[in-house]
Amino acid sequence: MDEPGEIGRRVQRMRVERGWTQKQLAHPSYTSAYVSTLEAGKVRPSETALRFLAARLGTSYEELATGRPAHLATELRLALTDAQRTLATGAADEAAACYRGLLARAQELELVPEQAQARLGLGDCALETGELPEAIAHFEEAERLLADEPLPRRARPIRGRAVAHLLSGELRYACYLLESAIDELGASGLADPDALVLLHAAVIGPYMDMGAHARASRAAELALALAPQVGDPALVAGMHRQVARTFLAEGRIADADASLARAQEIYGQLQLRTDLAHCHWMRGYIQAQNGELVSAERELRTARDMLSARRAGLFTAQVEVELADVLRRLGRREEAAGLLSALLGAGGGLGAVHAGGAHRLLGLMAEERGAQEAAEEHYVQALALLERSGASGDLADLCRLLGDLLRRTGRVEAAMDAYRTGLGHRAAPGTTTLGPAPAAPAFRTARVSGSRWGAGPGE
């Protein structure tokens, strides 16, 4: 709201334009003396008074309080929706240009919610193009702009920040952000289903990568139970995509595939191309885990081509690491090695987990051709990357590979150190460094039909 003097001058101008006296404007709820005092800027009008005067003058409360015609905010919100659609169906750089223009307009009009929405859009664009520090900065600014809003309104920038840190290889910090928000929602009594599903679905990925499978299963169970109360189909699809990972970890391949099929159907209807590519990616991963390598290659290439067409460089590179693993297992080692070497040599960020995975695969292929020294070098580089990320499952496997290599070359003591490192990271499965897992929502959730989820020991 503007200063009293500006509001008073605005009321007086509009009254005079209509040829009214102060008494005519004030009738029937106020006095002419009050209108006179208000127009002189000697009193700050209440929202009730301004809404009454706005209705009498045939304008909006917003225009009377700020001088901005209400239609400008409406037009800006519609344009932000168009930019969101551009990001979903077109190129991220085109959407980012739209969001930058809309952010400047929102700042000019001092529209804080619209500034936050534009920042969220820019953060999503930066995630897609792999510009992770820029994405984090946009999400942090969106969260700052929404600082006075209830936590459910801040769930999206919190989730965006967590995803950016996850992609950077900072798994523990991603968990911290999401778990803290979930706990705060529970403590505040603002157990909003949309916000909870968004946050629980987002925390599944880092939980799985850290080996916290019990927590991932519990997050999936809560998200599935809350899903019927969520009205946003894209949010429900994203939840099904993440839940598929927990099904896979339990060996429930058919359930994982069915969950992905539900997500894929929704994404296809909404024309959310990047998300649809992620479904092909996940389906390829599931098929690779199930030994269906030809089908896995087909799905991963589809995902890679879709993401590459959208210039989603980070995601494209991460898919190619998993494609290289499938190619190696199909016996096409030279093709796989060429793909991985190109990725690591490009200098672009893969994220610590996938960069570690690339070195692990190159180490395996070096061992297969008898190049023990090169294999050890790749394993050590992978170890440095994965140790920083906290990806305990991958770390344990890598330490086993390195230990076996060292033992075969006669360095028993060094091999024992490698094995102990791996065991140390697997010593507390189902936990993070954060203490107790987030509490369940305070309100009653629908029971998932046929659910066989368990919280697990200590969870």
**pLDDT tens by residue, 197-207:** 999 999 999 99
Q: Please name the amino acid found at residue 270.
A: L
Q: Whole-structure pTM over 0.95, yes or no? A: no
Q: What is the pLDDT of residue 454?
A: 31
What type of residue is 276? L
Q: What is the pLDDT of residue 451?
A: 34
What's the average model confidence in pLDDT over 420-430?
62
CB 219 within 8 A of CB 256: no
Token pair listed for 344: 């690591």
Q: Which of 52-66, 94-108, 439-453 has the highest mean pLDDT?
A: 94-108
How far is Cα 343 from Cα 357, in angstroms, rounded to an integer?
12
Q: What is the pLDDT of residue 449?
A: 39
Cα separation, 143 vs 136, in Å, equals 10
Q: Kindly tell me if the per-residue pLDDT of 22 is higher than 90.
A: yes
- Amino acid occupying residue 307: L
In angstroms, rounded to a whole number, what is the distance separating the alpha carbons of residues 356 and 145?
A: 36
Percent above pLDDT 90 for the chain: 60
CB count, 10 Å around CB of 138?
28
Could you tell me which of 276, 331, 273 has the C-alpha nearest to residue 299?
A: 276
Q: Is the pLDDT at 452 greater than 50, yes or no? A: no
Is the pLDDT score of 455 beyond 60?
A: no
Taking each helix axis as running N to C, give the angle between helix 313-329 and helix 112-129, from 0 to 180 degrees, rounded to the nearest 10: 30
What is the largest distance, in Å, between two alpha-carbon atoms of the chain?
101
DSSP state of 229: G
- Report the pLDDT value the prediction gives residue 433, as an integer from 0 to 100: 41
**Which pLDDT score is estimated for 289?**
86
What single DSSP character describes residue 143? Answer: H
**Token pair for 133:** 């520090």
Q: And the tokens for 228?
A: 């019927």
Tens of pLDDT, residue by residue over 238-254, are 999 999 999 988 888 88
Q: Whole-angstrom Cα distance, residue 90 to residue 333?
A: 35
* pLDDT confidence of residue 447: 41
The answer, yes or no, to whether residue 1 has pLDDT greater than 70, is no
Residue 325 is predicted with a pLDDT of 94
172 DSSP 8-state letter: H
Contacts of 86 (CB under 8 A, 6+ apart): 94, 95, 98
Whether the per-residue pLDDT at 401 is higher than 60: the answer is yes
Write out the DSSP string of 241-300: HHHHHHHHHTT-HHHHHHHHHHHHHHHHHHT-HHHHHHHHHHHHHHHHHTT-HHHHHHHH
What length does the chain have?
459
Which pair of tokens denotes residue 217? 């299963």
How much is the pLDDT for 352? 83
Between 292 and 110, name the one with better pLDDT. 292
| Torsion sign across C-alpha atoms 346, 347, 352, 358 | positive
Amino acid type, 425:
H
Predicted local distance difference test score (pLDDT) of residue 151 = 92
Taking alpha carbons only, the member of 396, 399, 390, 385 closest to residue 431 is 390
Mean predicted confidence (pLDDT) in 442-447: 48
**pLDDT, mean over the chain:** 87
Cβ atoms 431, 212 nearer than 8 A: yes
Which tens digits make up the pLDDT trace of 121-146?
A: 999 999 988 899 999 999 999 999 99
- Would you give the distance in Å from CA 198 to the centre of its chain? 8
Q: Determine contact, residues 78/69, Cβ cutoff 8 Å.
A: no
DSSP tag of 238: H
